[in-house]
Amino acid sequence: MTPRLSTSDSPLQTFISAAESAAHRPDETVILAGPCADCGISVPDATFARVKTSAPVSQSAFTDEPRWFAVHCQPHRERGAAAHLANQEFEVFLPCREKTRRHARKIETVRVPFFPGYLFIKLNMTRDRWRSVNGTFGVVRLVMQGEQPAPAPVGVVEAFMAASDDNGVLSLRPELVLGRPVRVLVGPFANLVGKLERMTDSGRVQVLLDILGGRTPVFLPTASVERADNGDSGR
């Protein structure tokens, strides 16, 4: 079964924000602050805090063990950057989510980056020519902490990879509860909110939707719905 994670207070978003801030504050260092809250699976040391310190930037990334690092990309060029980095034989992870959009009276589902403007690359800092990453098409630069790339905490990127399918699409939604409201994510009913009536062993759910003034039961793939707030009335 694919693990589910909560997107609230994302450890990677917190990491990126803290590391970027530290890059402009040499007297501060990013440190681990404890476990991630609201995660469906174990993600060790997933949140961060900034503290004043006179100590030098940690050298922990410069070991023989490969680590994951965040790469800041040019707007809407995450896929191109990932492809060019992969052509250089780097291991790259570009987490995505599915999004439904309406254009020219058509409805289509597309994959978009889960963290717009960022992807992740595995580097061995003692062996890989990491500075070449910054010169790659579509890349702005590696996320830095001082003069060095800032590694993501061990286990965080791996947990997101474990929660993604073969296309890199993440399943990061809270568990569904019978009788609670859910929002449809994709397809012709996208953004409608209804009541979760039934979950089957075949990976489908029955949702009661308000359609044309009537309550209509609709069967949908489980992955196409997410839990909604009680006050959410949809579109």
SS (H, E, C) 105-152: CEEEEEEEECCCCEEEEEECCCCCCCHHHHCCCCEEEECEECCEECEC
Q: What is the pLDDT, as a whole number, of residue 231?
A: 55
Q: Does pLDDT of 7 surpass 60? A: no
Domain with CATH 3.30.70.940 in the chain: 11-162
CATH of domain 181-227: 2.30.30.30
Q: What's the whole-number mean pLDDT along residues 41-53?
A: 31
The burial of 230, by beta-carbon neighbours within 10 Å (0-12 exposed, 13-18 middle, 19 or more buried), is given as: exposed
Tokens for 152? 């993501």
- The DSSP line for 59-121 is -TTSSSS-EEEEEEE-TT-HHHHHHHHHHTT-EEE--EEEEEEEETTEEEEEEEESSTTEEEE
Range 15-38 average pLDDT: 41
Mean pLDDT of the chain: 75
- What is the structure's pLDDT at 18? 53
Q: Which residues contact 225 (CB under 8 A, 6 or more apart)?
A: 176, 182, 183, 184, 185, 196, 205, 207
Does 21 or 31 have the greater pLDDT score? 21
- For the chain, give every residue range classified as CATH 2.30.30.30: 181-227
Classify 11-162 by CATH class: alpha beta
Q: How confident is the model at residue 90, as a pLDDT?
A: 96
**What is the mean pLDDT of the segment spanning 50-77?**
67
pLDDT at 176 over 80: yes
pLDDT digits (tens, 9 = 90+) for 115-159: 899 999 999 998 999 999 999 999 999 998 888 898 988 888 888
Which residues, 6+ apart, have CB-to-CB distance to 87 below 8 Å?
A: none
Distance CA 48, CA 36 (A): 9
* This prediction's pTM: 0.60
Q: Which pLDDT belongs to residue 101?
A: 74
